[in-house]
């Protein structure tokens, strides 16, 4: 009999290739049939073999091919070889399409969706969905792993993105972003009330020398120049709803700039907004804030509007998207708290 520790060392490393969260309205359906509809180029035999080999798990547990998926089941497919960076797996993920023509696509990205495949997020991204729904998206500006993309927003930021469907659109839109002529308005819920109520933050932003996973304000020449124009829309004493207009589009720009002003985004764990930064220490207030965090389990940031010149018609297009339900619910809760306090 083999030594247990030796056997453990010999176990295969498995790499996540797919992660699917079953829709709320999904009717009971055998998992092999369900995956056939969701995974490109997957035969029923291949899926059943993967299930028998326990490469497919539901809610972290191995299942049989006749298991019937239920709403909100978390299905993962893990295989012995890691996904290739340049291999994009088309996935039948619904898209909230705001506008579409032969050149461009404007989508409303939900919070929680990563924009393009990268380390630890090979599937379930916006690009995986785009590759399923559209063919021949241009890649010249962004490389093979980012077809159609001319900009992006963070995983836990919701809102509008424009996608290039042609080489003409890719080049024309990229030039507008380079020239800072794209109109972008964000809504953010931040701790406290900025003073002055309207202003501009202009400095240099780059990766923190202390923690490369986060961005920070740096000395001149050490980062990229970043400009954010902000305005308080609603003063709720402990928090405020602000509008941010981007002149540049640096990684985490609004999140870094508001932290720099001393007003981190509400529930932004990366930049310190997931703590109580304004208000009392009373247990009732603490419970109220934690309830708000539960309603809005992400940074309170939404890409609300997007304006650009169409690459073919040269017409100015402008799109708006209202606050998503989670941000609206947290905002309404703060309004009631301030009103009846």
Asked whether the beta carbons of 267 and 297 are under 8 A apart, the reply is yes
DSSP letters for 181-213: --EEEEEEEEES--SSSEEEEEEEEEE-SS-TT
Distance of CA 209 to the CA centre of its chain: 25
| Angstrom distance (rounded) from CA 284 to CA 244 | 32
- Taking phi first (over 0 means left), then psi (-120 to 50 degrees means alpha), and beta for anything else, what does residue 279 get? left
Asked whether the beta carbons of 268 and 274 are under 8 A apart, the reply is yes
Q: Is residue 264 exposed (0-12), middle (13-18) or buried (19+ Cβ within 10 Å)?
A: buried
Buried b (16+ CB within 10 A) or exposed e, 152-161: bbbebbbbbb
| Angstrom distance (rounded) from CA 199 to CA 190 | 15
| Angstrom distance (rounded) from CA 239 to CA 193 | 6
Q: How far is CA 23 from CA 28, 68, 71, in A?
A: 11, 13, 6
Of 22, 16, 136, the C-alpha closest to 68 is 22
The residue from 154, 156, 268, 326 that is catalytic is 154
274 part of the active site: no
Q: Which residues are catalytic?
A: 154
């Amino acid at each position: 009999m083999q030594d247990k520790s030796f056997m453990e060392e010999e176990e295969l490393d498995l790499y996540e290739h797919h992660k699917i969260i079953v829709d709320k309205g999904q009717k009971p359906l055998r998992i092999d049939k369900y995956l056939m509809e969701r995974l490109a180029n997957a035969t029923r035999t291949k899926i059943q073999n993967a299930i028998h080999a326990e490469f497919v798990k539901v809610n972290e547990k191995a299942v049989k091919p006749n298991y019937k998926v239920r709403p909100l089941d978390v299905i993962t497919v893990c295989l012995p070889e890691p996904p290739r960076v340049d291999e994009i797996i088309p996935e039948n993920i619904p898209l909230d399409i705001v506008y579409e023509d032969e050149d461009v696509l404007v989508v409303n990205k939900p919070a929680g969706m990563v924009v393009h495949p990268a380390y630890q997020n090979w599937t379930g991204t916006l690009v995986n969905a785009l590759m399923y729904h559209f063919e021949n998206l241009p890649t010249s500006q962004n490389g093979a792993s980012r077809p159609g993309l001319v900009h992006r927003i963070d995983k836990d930021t919701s809102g509008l993105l424009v996608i290039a469907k042609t080489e003409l659109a890719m080049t024309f839109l990229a030039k507008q972003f380079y020239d800072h002529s794209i109109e972008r308005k964000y809504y953010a819920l931040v701790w406290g009330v900025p003073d002055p109520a309207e202003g501009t933050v202009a400095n240099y932003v780059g990766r923190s020398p202390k923690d490369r996973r986060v961005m920070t304000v740096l000395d001149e020449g050490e980062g990229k120049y970043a400009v954010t124009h902000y305005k308080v829309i609603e003063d709720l004493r402990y928090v405020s709803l602000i509008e941010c207009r981007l002149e540049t589009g640096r990684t985490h720009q609004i999140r870094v700039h508001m932290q720099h002003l001393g007003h981190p985004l509400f529930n932004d764990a990366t930049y310190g907004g997931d703590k109580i930064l304004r208000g009392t220490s009373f247990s009732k207030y603490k419970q109220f804030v934690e309830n708000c965090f539960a309603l809005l389990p992400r940074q309170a940031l939404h890409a609300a509007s997007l304006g650009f010149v169409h690459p073919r018609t040269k017409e100015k297009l402008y799109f708006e998207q209202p606050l998503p339900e989670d941000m609206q619910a947290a905002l309404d809760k703060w309004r009631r708290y301030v009103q009846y306090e």
